[in-house]
Amino acid sequence: MNLQDAHRTQRTWARVAGLMYLVVLVVDLTGMNLHAPDLARSLFLSGSLFTVLLALGLYYAVRPVHALLALAALACRLVEAALGVIATVTGFPSLQPHLADSGMGAAMLQLTHWGNETNFAGFIFTVGSTIFFSLFLQARSIPRLLAFWGIFASVLAFSVCLAHLVVPSFPSMAMWAWIPMILAETFTGLWLLIRSVQPPAHAAN
């Protein structure tokens, strides 16, 4: 693949990431406000699956900047997506008796309970988000203000999730800690979808 094709692929994946940022936000926020539990769980499940596409889009968008850090961020977002899928599947009441009857199902239920208690999925999400926005800043492939805001929002959410891990009574999902992240993902998603990214001046191995 020549350099021009590589840049075109990078920009295409960046637009995929932009679209998925918006789709995941809409799906998750809609699910949070629904009063139909099964429909809400179905939306959360689709949101977790869309997160895989989001993670891949972000990975390919920033991989030329630093491949190893991009891979670490991708791993974080994939773990987040996997935990989301497991938590959603085990949340369906009709499936819980069947899961409890098998060793793997029981382990999934235990993992979900631990995840709900610790909000580990949220914690690992903030790690990946911080790395991705840091790579965007390093590449200068999106506006610096937007990248700085993304880092700020990610670190704020990371701090709240870390505090919850250390002191479980600390509210990890306080809205004041997540509104900056919602704004960061909304405007970054719009930018990537419409403008994509500018190829970095240099690539790190």
Largest CA distance in the chain: 56
Q: What is the pLDDT of residues 64-107, one digit of tens each?
A: 999 999 999 999 999 999 999 999 999 898 888 888 888 898 99
State how many domains the chain has.
1
In a domain, 19, yes or no: yes
In a domain, 203, yes or no: no
For every residue of 74-126, DSSP letters joined together read: HHHHHHHHHHHHHHHHHT-TTTHHHHHTSHHHHHHHHHHHHHHHHTHHHHHHH
Q: What is the span of the domain harbouring residue 85?
A: 3-195
pTM score, whole prediction: 0.92
Mean pLDDT of 162-168: 92
* Residue type at position 56: L
In a domain, 52, yes or no: yes
Mean pLDDT of 129-153: 96
In a domain, 204, yes or no: no
The whole-angstrom separation of Cα 188 and Cα 205 is: 25
For every residue of 172-187, DSSP letters joined together read: TT-HHHHHHHHHHHHH
Ranges 88-97, 141-150, 159-168: which has the least confidence: 88-97
Q: Alpha helices of 3-66 — where are they, by DSSP H?
A: 3-32, 37-62
For every residue of 31-47, DSSP letters joined together read: HHT-S-HHHHHHHHHHH
